[in-house]
Amino acid sequence: MKKLWWLVFLVAGLWLGCENDPAEVATLMANLKPEVEQAEEVEILYSDSALIKVRIEAPTMLTYLDRNDPRQEFPDGVKVEFFDPAGTITSILTAKYGIRLDKKNQIIVRDSVVWQSVEREKLETEELIWDERDEKVFTQKFVVITRPEEIITGHGFELDQNFENDRVNAVDGRLKISDPSKLED
């Protein structure tokens, strides 16, 4: 019987002795954002008919669960690889920031955006927008397009989502390259 009382006092003491500091609880609640999910070292694969079309890699992805403005944000940069039907990488896009706006069906990458194809074509700009509805990729920012035979600079750029049929809106420079081997990275 004495053992039972000791056990009751021990449990009651532990139960009554466990109290959270209100300041610690407030700090914890302030740091928690239930409307935002965070994932680290993210890899996302998009496929069609069991063939990988796109692979996205990012150190951090934030998913905002707001019903009025759902979005996925890549605040620490993003790398996107595009694949052909044989599974070979055809081009790579990198940027220091990215966001997908669900309601607008747009993906926006900003800050040191570089898209490079295996055909040695390269696009550099500060912002690139993919409008999924219109199936277009575009920017109104300054662009530098490097191809094996030329370098084109201008303001504004547009192409279809298959990275074909491109157009620079306001060309302000075009340089012919006499020795393309000097463009090697």
pLDDT tens-digit series, residues 156-170: 888 876 667 777 887
- Domain presence at residue 14: no
Check whether 67 has a pLDDT greater than 80.
Answer: yes
Number of domains in the chain: 1
Q: Report CA-CA distances (Å) from 50 to 45, 47, 83, 85, 91.
A: 11, 6, 13, 10, 20
- Domain presence at residue 169: yes
Q: Which domain holds residue 158?
A: 35-183
- Higher-confidence residue of 180 and 45: namely 45
Nearest C-alpha neighbor of 97 from the set 133, 140, 60, 134:
60
Start-to-end Cα distance in the chain: 83
pLDDT tens-digit series, residues 12-53: 555 555 566 777 766 666 666 668 889 999 998 888 888 888
Q: What is the mean pLDDT of the chain?
A: 82
- Domain presence at residue 77: yes
- Domain presence at residue 12: no
Backbone φ and ψ for 121, nearest 5 degrees, come out as -95, 140
CATH number at residue 72: 2.60.450.10
- Domain presence at residue 22: no
- Domain presence at residue 13: no
Q: What whole-number percentage of the chain has pLDDT above 70?
A: 75
Query: pLDDT confidence of 94, banded at 50, 70, 90?
Result: very high
- Domain presence at residue 126: yes
